[in-house]
Structure 1
Amino acid sequence: MAFRHLDLFSGIGGFAYAAQQVWDDDYECVGFVEIDPFCQAVLKLRFPGVPIHDDIKTFGGEQGEPIGEESRIDLLTGGFPCQPFSAAGLRRGKADNRWLWKDMLRVIQEVRPSWIIAENVYGLLTMQGGLVFDEIISDMENEGYEVQPFIIPACAKNAPHRRDRVWIIGNATETRLQKSPAEEQQESVQDAERRNRTDVNNTAIRSEDQEREIQEWQNAESNRSDSPDRGDVNNTNSRRQTWRIDWRDVALATCIRGVDDGISARLDGLELSAAKHRMERIRALGNSIIPQIAIELMMGIKYATEKTEQGAMG
């Protein structure tokens, strides 16, 4: 039985490439959702015959392309855009029409995949004092997923730049897999009502605690700013590089600006040639995931899936 994959915010197909390497002949990509014309052209070239939908907002649902009940989805992946929270993106936050997590969540609710891999910038952890990240995790847990986030840099797979990224893995619990879509929808409504009753108090308490932690961290960084060993790789866990401007502004902007967290120093500031699509290629690569990291995560998913199947057979 083929391992079926739906890829949202597909870019040039980093997740699909990784899944191909892991599942090989047992892999089937059932669809891409990607709005950029250049990336669409790359997907058509590299993954011929795979359907491409151009807008997450019209994908699925009553008015959109049918998903969910018509086919089983084993893995859903997506690196949803982070521009709404960046300085260059004018920081409209969740009011920005580029804030697409809720659209990804809607597709998750309709598709009900067994596994989810979401990827985003490191700055996601501190957006609005950490509340945005908390909301994403809570949304996934409320949909019946066991969730585990990781912070993995590109250099972990020998890339020439650090580029910390947040990877969020979700695995559907047995209870979720046994429920019908109608039961899922009813429980989602009930969960939303419960959250609304507690959000006011929780938000106030959580915001104060997180702002205090951020302030303590910044004070500690300020005291270490002149330390000669602050770039020591062996001390990465205890010391982070101190930016001359607000480090949160830099982290939030890395999805669309070339800084040390994003595009490799070998490409950042590179004078572009007149070669066809040179600019589009550089931008697409800068926005892409690191497939080698996705491969490692998918190998874990494959192992867990095989162990579960063996247990069911035994």
Structure 2
Amino acid sequence: MGQSQAAGSMIAQTITPTTHDLGQFKVRRALPSKARSMVGPFIFVDQFGPAQLDIGSGMDVRPHPHINLATVTWLFEGAIDHRDSLGSYSTIRPGQVNLMTAGRGIVHSERSPAEERASGPKLYGMQTWLALPDGREEIDPAFEAVKDLPVVEDGSSRAIVVMGELWGAQAQTTTHADTIYADIALDAGGSVPIAADADERAVMLVGGEAAIDGIPLELYQLTVLAPGVAMTLRSESGGRIMLLGGEAFATERHAWWNFVSSSRERIEQAKADWRERRFPEVPGDSEERIPLPDGAPKTVTYP
């Protein structure tokens, strides 16, 4: 985990993620870190893969709880079956965003589909959490899978707007706070403007090569952009970049295991509720659960 002040005034901060090698695939966690806790509403940023798992194996994240946040799952390759305590069932595939709003409490599981296991699952994508804003932390839990996302392209660049409004295109995905989230693919010589509208913005190179206003991006590093400055993202040989950010939170958020809240007492309550089995179960996936960690929680809850 690292932090540095990059050259010039364009880059506010660079964060090298903590990498967890889980055997068949790697998970890189950029947020939260010692260097920074949030970028806009994003309080958790994981990048995983690319990986090809063994035939017959798969990802099995057993049922576990969340409060006061929304999870956003975005895949570049592969598929994941999502089930939650609302009764939702959705197979996430590239081009579809799954947004699960935990609010006052939800339980979900994430597993590789049977057909993926038969051929050897691919895992490559992003898992992010958004803190819910003041006054909306305890809203009702909800789930949505959005496939019809706007695409902005000009021949040498193609950007999918996953959340929020970018380049004149508005995603249908629910936002609880002002949020921007986009998947940008640049061909050789391609470029896109990065407006200065959002309070906080960051980019992550997830494949290939790219630079922001001439400053090269390092693969999987989270590059936090200086506020209030319009910039240009460009690639000489082709690259894929995630853009994320939104409104800055005035109130601190606490995070412990899978719980996020402005209140430490609320997190203690959630811990007790999970320990005492007061959270609802996941229909169709109630045989297993991830137990509450003893002491300091493990950073990664993947299998």
Pairwise TM-score range, normalised by the shorter structure: under 0.3
Output the TM-score relative to the length of structure 2.
0.27
Q: As a proportion of its length, which structure holds more strand? A: 2
Q: Which has the higher helix share?
A: 1
TM-score, with structure 1 as normaliser: 0.27
